């Protein structure tokens, strides 16, 4: 698991959501796959499971909604 709090920001105007771990922006995710990859690169042991868990703070918009569909 990632070592620090994970925050997924509201959907941006053009789609996608900014991802922050411990105050550092890791990038913009356009899917759960993108989010898992950011977490994997940050050192998460089980990034796919983490995305599906309640350990991520999803701000404003529904979890797993990236505004791309």
Domain annotation covers residue 40: yes
Domain annotation covers residue 15: yes
Give me the pLDDT at residue 53, please: 83
In terms of pLDDT, which residue wins out, 54 or 61? 61
- Domain range for 11: 6-58
CA atoms within 13 A on the CB side of 67: 15
Domain annotation covers residue 68: no
Domain annotation covers residue 69: no
Domain annotation covers residue 67: no
CA atoms within 13 A on the CB side of 46: 6
Q: What is the mean pLDDT of the chain?
A: 90
- Residue 36 sits at φ, ψ, to 5 deg, of -60, -40
Domain annotation covers residue 26: yes
Beta bridge partners of 4: none
Domain annotation covers residue 1: no
Give me the pLDDT at residue 4, please: 55
Total number of domains constituting the chain: 1
Domain annotation covers residue 63: no
Position 55 confidence tier, pLDDT thresholds 50, 70, 90: confident
Beta bridge partners of 29: 17
Spatial separation of the C-alpha atoms in residues 60 and 53, rounded to whole Å: 17
Give me the pLDDT at residue 51, please: 86
């Amino acid at each position: 698991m990632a070592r620090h709090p994970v925050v997924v920001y509201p959907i941006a105007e053009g789609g996608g959501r900014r991802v922050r771990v411990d105050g550092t922006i890791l990038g913009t995710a356009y899917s759960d796959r993108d989010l898992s990859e950011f977490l994997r690169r940050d050192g998460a042991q089980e990034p796919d499971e983490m995305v599906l868990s309640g350990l991520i703070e999803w701000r404003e918009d529904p979890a797993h909604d990236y505004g791309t569909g």
